Amino acid sequence: MIGLGLAGLTLPSGRVHAAGSDPLILALGDSLTAGYGLPEGEGLVPQLAAALAAAGRPAQVENAGVSGDTTAGGRARLDWALGGLPRQPDLVIVALGANDALRGIAPEEAEANLGAILDTLGRKGLPVLLVGMLAPTNWGPDYRKAFDAIYPALAEDHDVPLDPFILEGVALEPSLVQPDGLHPNAAGVKKMAARLAPVVIQALDLGKAPKLRD
């Protein structure tokens, strides 16, 4: 890890980093974060960085999205993802769970993995934005009710900001998704990034690390 040195400035979030540098954001996710099926530069990470810059809050956004990853996979590689950064991030966006829902993984298992991720970030004192997912209807109403409740419960338990649904305004819109009907196209990602940018800015300003569970 590269040392930050003595020169630094305090952001509204209370994080300190090298003078003149932009906030560092780690986006931990799956194919929705990785930019599946899109040319380089059109995925969520570069489009979110562009949206933040357009809003007057430029940031370095690092892509830790792995297509096909579940909450268990994200939990397993969290330390590796953090260790690959030049310094501690000013915000970690946790956007996992889509593949758990598609595969019908037990909601309590997904919740346990996400909770462990938040606990790890809390112990490290790293601010978090939790980004939610909604379950498909094919597993039945009981599964969907249990899965959809994961993210609000975790956000409350860990006292972190929540964006309830990463695909808000994009899912099920034919003009905004790829032919597979699941992944957003470039226009869909641009809409996602524009919607998420102010949420990310608020999370940066808040600078809230997860509260550890008892």
Return the active site residues.
Answer: 31, 180, 183
Residue 155: CB atoms within 10 A of its CB come to 20
**Start-end of H helices in the chain:** 31-34, 44-54, 71-83, 98-103, 107-124, 141-148, 150-158, 186-206
**Partners of 24 in the β-ladder:** 60
Q: In a 3-state reduction of DSSP, which class is residue 106?
A: coil
Separation CA 165–CA 141 (nearest Å) = 18
Q: Which residues contact 174 (CB under 8 A, 6 or more apart)?
A: none
Reference 90, options 118, 124, 117, 64; nearest CA is: 124
